[in-house]
């Protein structure tokens, strides 16, 4: 698993390692070889995430995290379909640090735990999960909690 971070804003090494572990657990749970996969991660301020949310989702408000999958649900190429030097680039994750900090405080846990949760949530979006129906929401939440539990970060 390779995570690509913006050079100017990146998490500390321990948080980056936990993010990678979360992505590996999520991909392995879906039967995807994490050694072939990559995800781009950006940390932005409220103004930037609001701009992106409006531009790409038509929602003119600040949010905590956005996911930009490169593949449609169920259309992720199998690792054996990749060339030897080709990565399975799953997509982009954009996290708003300011919202993350506020939510961590509101929920009574660390900023690092909130970052890992939001990242895990986004990884599942990149893998085709959504929460449009109650059934989809419950399925996605169960997968998120499974990964968080594996990392020792359950609620």
**Structural domain span for residue 29:** 2-150
Q: Would you say residue 118 lies in a domain?
A: yes
Q: Would you say residue 62 lies in a domain?
A: yes
Encode pLDDT of 25-70 as tens digits.
999 999 888 988 999 999 999 999 999 999 999 999 999 999 999 8
Q: Would you say residue 155 lies in a domain?
A: no
Q: Would you say residue 120 lies in a domain?
A: yes
Q: Would you say residue 102 lies in a domain?
A: yes
Angle in degrees, 0-180, between the axes of helices 46-57 and 97-107, rounded to the nearest 10: 100
- Total Cβ atoms within 10 A of residue 104: 18
Read out DSSP for 116-145?
HHHHHHHHHHHTT---SSHHHHHHHHHHHH
Residue 63, domain CATH: 3.40.390.30
Q: Does the global pTM surpass 0.85?
A: yes
Q: Would you say residue 115 lies in a domain?
A: yes
Q: Could you tell me the pLDDT band of residue 20, with boundaries at 50, 70 and 90?
A: very high
Range 147-154 average pLDDT: 93
Encode pLDDT of 80-116 as tens digits.
666 666 788 899 999 999 999 999 999 999 999 999 9
Q: Would you say residue 21 lies in a domain?
A: yes
Structural domain count, the chain = 1
- Total Cβ atoms within 10 A of residue 57: 11
């Amino acid at each position: 698993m390779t995570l690509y971070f913006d050079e100017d804003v990146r998490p500390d090494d321990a948080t980056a390692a936990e993010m990678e572990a979360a992505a590996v657990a999520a991909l392995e749970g879906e039967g995807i070889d994490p050694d072939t996969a990559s995800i781009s991660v950006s940390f932005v301020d409220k103004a930037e995430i609001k701009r992106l949310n409006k531009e790409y989702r038509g929602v003119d408000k600040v949010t905590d995290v956005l996911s930009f999958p490169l593949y449609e649900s169920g259309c992720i190429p199998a690792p054996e379909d990749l060339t030897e030097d080709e990565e399975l680039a799953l997509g982009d994750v954009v996290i708003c640090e300011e919202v993350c900090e506020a939510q961590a405080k509101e929920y009574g846990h660390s900023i690092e735990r909130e970052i890992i949760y939001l990242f895990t949530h986004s990884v599942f979006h990149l893998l085709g999960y959504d929460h449009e129906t109650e059934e989809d929401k419950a399925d996605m939440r169960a997968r998120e909690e499974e990964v968080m539990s594996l990392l020792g970060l359950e609620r």
